[in-house]
A = this chain, B = another copy of it.
Amino acid sequence: MSKAPNPARRSESSRRAILAATGDLCSEAGYGRLTIEAIAARAGVSKKTIYRWWPSKGAVVLELLGETATIATAPPDTGDLAADLHTMLTEIVDMLTPPRNSAGTGVISEALHDPDLARDLRERLIQPGIDAFKQRLRRAQETGRLHPDADLDVALDLLYGPIYHRMALHLGMPDPDYLRTLITHVLRALTPPAPH
């Protein structure tokens, strides 16, 4: 994390209290009204303690999101690519769908203006899943199940992008059927025509 000092110096119980307070305040009043003051008061720590470990409220919220996101630590891998993509995208959609989206949407909104936060968001929450699925797509490409000229970076953007587009324009977040159709279309874009 940017500007984060040695995490070994953190007290784990204070860290837990800070994250719990952040989650409660986000649910109660929304990301927009969240302040470091309010987190400190609720968690029973000083503002200085919070700023010693995190550079901004966005960074605290991001750590909270990372705690519960399995995509960040263990992207799904059952061997069924389409099903695993569905699991991964569902987790991201859940994080960005009202009424539980205050933290996720707040961090994305702030990251648009804060390159450090955007880098942390990418590295801690999104990139592990992207890397894991890119590796699986590459293996499928090497064994001929995907087009040799399929662009795997574009492929990942095609999978994630619609979620951000629908979120940005309030077009209604994807439901399970939408995600299945999305994945079918993207895999079709990557798959060579059946031999004949």
List the number of copies, as a whole number. Answer: 2
Q: Are B165 and A161 in contact (CB under 8 A)?
A: yes
Q: Are A186 and B158 in contact (CB under 8 A)?
A: yes
Looking at the assembled complex, report how far the CB atom of A172 sits from the nearest CB atom of chain B, in whole angstroms.
Answer: 10
Checking B118, B162, B190 against A170 with a beta-carbon cut-off of 8 angstroms, the contacting residue is B118
**Given A109-B109, A157-B161, A185–B193 Cβ distance below 8 Å?**
no
Q: Are B168 and A158 in contact (CB under 8 A)?
A: no
Contacting B at CB under 8 A, from A118-152, are 118-119, 121-122, 126, 150-151
**Given A160-B161, A185-B189, A169–B112 Cβ distance below 8 Å?**
no
Checking B160, B170, B185 against A154 with a beta-carbon cut-off of 8 angstroms, the contacting residue is B185
Q: Flag whether A74 is at the interface (Cβ < 8 A).
A: no
Give chain B residues whose Cβ lies under 8 Å from the Cβ of A165. Answer: 157, 160-161, 163-165
Interface size class of A (residues with CB under 8 A): 35 or more
Q: Flag whether A8 is at the interface (Cβ < 8 A).
A: no
Give chain B residues whose Cβ lies under 8 Å from the Cβ of A115. Answer: 170
Q: Are B108 and A181 in contact (CB under 8 A)?
A: no
Q: Are B190 and A185 in contact (CB under 8 A)?
A: yes
Given A111-B170, A161-B166, 15 further pairs, Cβ under 8 A: A105-B112, A109-B110, A109-B113, A111-B168, A122-B170, A126-B169, A151-B185, A154-B181, A157-B162, A158-B182, A158-B186, A161-B161, A161-B164, A164-B164, A193-B193
